[in-house]
């Protein structure tokens, strides 16, 4: 008896390898995949604006990175004794405006230089509901889309659901600028399986439907786009609350692992997969905690993995095992 529905996933035409540069942007699910890529020594930069959910905020972030936008104190507002940007996650906020600006502008500069030579941009969209600023919001142009509410009062925002054509225009404008900035970049779109139940079940489904339709419309028109079905893998393949955390919103460890393995199968070739297995073996040894670290047996264990790691480093000099080698040696 089958307890879940598996379906075929279209392969990425040009598979990802360890020499590629990947920029990841979007929802918190982006960071789950990003963490796994980092552990396997891929060259990545993730969420230079912090976690973003809606297409407007994602597109604005990418365009600002391309154009090297320089934020000033006029772009910030103060709330709860902290300075914030309406286009950034709270991790880029600061106790002083100078602190916030330093974080924001440094991140934009780094992302600009990275995106210029990136091979892949992985975009994970979470919601087509947008929250626009009202005349009660601090230091705001009415109608501006907020990327993060920064725990501001509810009357600072007005909520609306984007239409499919609006999402396509917003993403299409960004993709045009991106193509002019980096002609070789390839884009992978995913829809986050995280359920935005604060919008309600019906409105969450409406929101996801808009994103799915818009992304597929773009995918059919543009050659460099690829769609990876993270949303469908959790909602239609696994399809069970056992694969969600206790909040019934976020996919749990088992679901994320399942999607990750499907991503590897669809987007990487056998050579890359084999290298990942060797890196994973070193990772396990690196996090191993010995009960008796001074024993001959443990020292032999460390020496063995030091030799394996050095051999792998010599074979693939573009990988960095500095931290692991310091531990093993």
Cα–Cα distance measured from residue 325 to residue 314, given in angstroms and rounded to the nearest whole number = 13
DSSP string, 18-51: TTSEEEEEESHHHHHHHHHHHHTT-EEEE-TT--
Answer whether residue 50 shows pLDDT above 90.
yes
Q: What is the mean pLDDT of residues 118-144?
A: 94
pLDDT at 291: 84
Q: What is the mean pLDDT of residues 113-138?
A: 96
Q: What is the pTM of this model?
A: 0.93
Q: What is the pLDDT of residues 158-176, one digit of tens each?
A: 999 999 999 999 999 999 9
User: What percentage of the chain reaches a pLDDT higher than 90?
Assistant: 82
173-192, pLDDT tens digit by residue? 999 999 999 999 999 999 99
Cβ pair 167, 210 in contact under 8 A: yes
Q: Which token pair is 22?
A: 């990947």
What is the average per-residue pLDDT within 213-230?
94
| Over residues 111-125, mean pLDDT | 98
3-state class (DSSP) for residue 190: strand
Report the alpha-carbon distance of residue 195 to residue 205 in Å, rounded. 9
Report, as an integer, the average pLDDT of 146-167.
96
Q: What is the pLDDT of residues 299-322, one digit of tens each?
A: 899 999 999 999 999 999 999 999
What domains are there in the chain, each with its CATH number?
A: 21-268 (3.40.50.1110), 269-329 (no CATH)
Q: Which of 30-34, 44-48, 78-82, 115-119 has the lowest mean pLDDT?
A: 30-34
Compute the average pLDDT of residues 249-272. Answer: 93
Specify whether the CB–CB gap between 36 and 260 falls below 8 A. Answer: yes
> H helices of the chain, where?
28-39, 55-66, 97-116, 164-181, 201-221, 230-232, 253-267, 270-287, 296-315, 322-328
- In three-state secondary structure terms, 222 is coil
Count of other CB atoms within 10 angstroms of residue 205? 14
In sequence order, the 6+-apart residues with CB closer than 8 A to the CB of 299 are none
Helix (H) or strand (E) holding 78: strand 76-79
Element (H, E) at 292: none
| Helix 253-267 / helix 28-39 crossing angle, nearest 10 deg | 70
Residue 9: pLDDT band (50, 70, 90) is: very high
Helix (H) or strand (E) holding 161: strand 157-161
């Amino acid at each position: 008896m089958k307890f879940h529905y598996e379906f075929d996933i279209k392969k990425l035409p040009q598979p990802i390898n360890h020499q590629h540069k990947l920029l990841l942007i979007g929802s918190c699910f982006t960071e789950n995949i990003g963490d796994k890529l980092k552990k396997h020594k891929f060259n990545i930069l993730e969420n230079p604006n912090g976690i973003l959910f809606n297409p407007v905020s994602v597109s604005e972030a990418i365009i600002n990175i391309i154009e090297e936008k320089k934020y000033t104190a006029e772009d910030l507002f103060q709330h709860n004794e902290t300075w914030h940007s309406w286009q950034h996650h709270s991790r880029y906020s600061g106790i002083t405006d100078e602190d916030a600006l330093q974080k924001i502008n440094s991140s934009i500069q780094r992302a600009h230089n990275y995106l210029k030579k990136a091979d892949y941009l992985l975009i994970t969209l979470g919601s087509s509901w947008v929250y626009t600023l009202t005349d009660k919001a601090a230091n705001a142009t009415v109608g501006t889309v907020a990327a993060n509410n920064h725990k501001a009062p509810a009357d600072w925002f007005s909520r609306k659901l984007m239409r499919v054509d609006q999402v396509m225009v917003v993403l299409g404008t960004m993709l045009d600028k991106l193509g002019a900035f980096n002609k070789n970049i390839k884009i992978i779109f995913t829809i986050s399986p995280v359920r935005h139940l604060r919008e309600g079940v019906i409105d969450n489904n409406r929101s996801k439907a808009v994103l799915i339709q818009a992304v597929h419309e773009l995918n059919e028109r543009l050659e460099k786009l690829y769609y990876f079905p993270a949303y469908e893998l959790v909602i239609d393949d696994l399809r069970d609350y056992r694969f969600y955390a206790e909040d019934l919103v976020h996919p749990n460890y088992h679901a994320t692992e399942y999607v990750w393995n499907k991503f590897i199968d669809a987007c990487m070739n056998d050579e890359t997969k084999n290298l990942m297995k060797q890196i994973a073996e070193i990772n396990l040894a690196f996090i191993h905690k010995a009960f008796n670290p001074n024993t001959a047996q443990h020292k032999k264990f460390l020496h063995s993995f030091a030799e394996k790691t050095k051999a792998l480093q010599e074979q693939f000099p573009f990988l960095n095992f500095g931290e692991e080698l310091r531990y093993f040696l």
